[in-house]
Amino acid sequence: MLSFLVRRLLTFVPTFFGVTLVSFAFIRLLPGDPILLLAGERGVSQERYEQLSAQLGFDQPLWKQYIDYLAGIFQGDLGTSFVTKRPVIDEFFALFPATLELSLCAIVIAILLGIPAGVIAAVYRGKFFDRTLMTTALVGYSMPIFWWALLLIIVFSSGLGWTPVSGRISLMYFFDTPTGFMLIDSLLADQDGAFLSAVSHLILPSIVLATIPLAIIARQTRSAMLEVLGEDYMRTARAKGLPPLKINGVHALRNAMIPVITVIGLSVGTLLAGAILTETIFSWPGIGKWMVDSIFRRDYQVVQGGLLMIATIVMIVNLTVDVLYGLINPKIRKG
């Protein structure tokens, strides 16, 4: 197990450098001079241009810029936002809990619904539930997120008036946010209705964000279960006289979880991509919306730093999934 961990950690290193290179190159390959774009219609004087260029390091050769960028990263410095003048890393950590809360809710919904749905579909293969589920999953998987979000908003917010349209909590509440998680902070604040307000704000964006991972997890669980159900050891489990719930829920599911966990890990990437759209639609103040806003504002330092942070998080999640995978699959644990 230890050597497996060490080996896995070592692969982290080249990937991380790859990511720094990509995020560095990304904004420099975009068409247009960043300083001119930043200045906008008004334009800048030659003097001011050179001043800005020197300030942002754009007058240096590319390799020097990259080295400086790397050096900054290792000191925890991802640059400063042109717009807010605050360090990118500070902005990131201020906004990250909102995204984390939304993503966690979404992935929990996707797992809690997706795995049982996949198991039931596999056990009752070809029956009504199975066919309905698989069709729904296909629709869920192929639906454009923004269209689905708008549909939900029209029905539940505009039509029925059940849920708010934007933000994390109603504007009438004011309290400290020590954890950054609105669900927890609203409970800690102990104000009438604050928690419910937080929940009602969270519910539509989480459903929207959960849709694609839910569809993926349900389909993967079903196909993994179908494969496992035909195995010899399932006959052994039945020959013991175990009840169906134990046979399917313990003996089959434990084996079927091995590929499903990989898929859950991979869907974190999908989730963050989805978060960008979802946060923008629901005005959810997280890093997804932050990135989009920064791109529109040509806030290159933020885009570059944010990209790096998001990629790093995806890598850390993948690493965690690999370790989990080792824990659940004894064949790997040994290796």
Site residues (vs another protein, CB under 8 A): 231-233, 235-243, 251, 254-255, 328-331, 334
Helices (H), the chain: 2-29, 34-39, 46-56, 62-74, 88-123, 128-142, 145-152, 182-189, 194-229, 232-239, 244-246, 253-281, 287-296, 300-328, 330-334
| Residue nearer to another protein on the CB measure, 171 or 245 | 245
Q: How far is the CB of 125 from another protein (least distance, A)?
A: 11
State the minimum distance, in angstroms, from the CB of residue 261 to another protein: 12
Smallest gap from residue 262 Cβ to another protein (A): 15
Would you state the torsion angle of the CA atoms of residues 292, 293, 295, 300, taken in this order, to the nearest 10 degrees?
-120
Q: What is the largest CA-CA distance in the chain?
A: 85
- What gap in Å lies between CA 301 and CA 304, rounded to an integer? 5
Q: Which is nearer to another protein, 48 or 238 (CB)?
A: 238
Separation between Cα atoms, residue 220 and residue 132, nearest integer Å: 16
Please say which residue, 1 or 22, places its beta carbon nearer to another protein.
1
Nearer to another protein by C-beta: 228 or 271?
Answer: 228
- Pick 128 or 147: Cβ nearer another protein: 128
Q: Shortest approach of another protein to residue 227 CB, angstroms?
A: 13
Nearest to 109 by CA among 227, 6, 210, 228: 210
CA distance 148 to 280: 14
Rama region for 57: left / alpha / beta (φ>0; ψ in -120 to 50; rest):
left
Cβ closest to another protein, residue 18 vs residue 244: 244
Least separation in angstroms between residue 242's CB and another protein is 6
Q: Shortest Cβ distance from residue 245 to another protein (Å)? A: 12
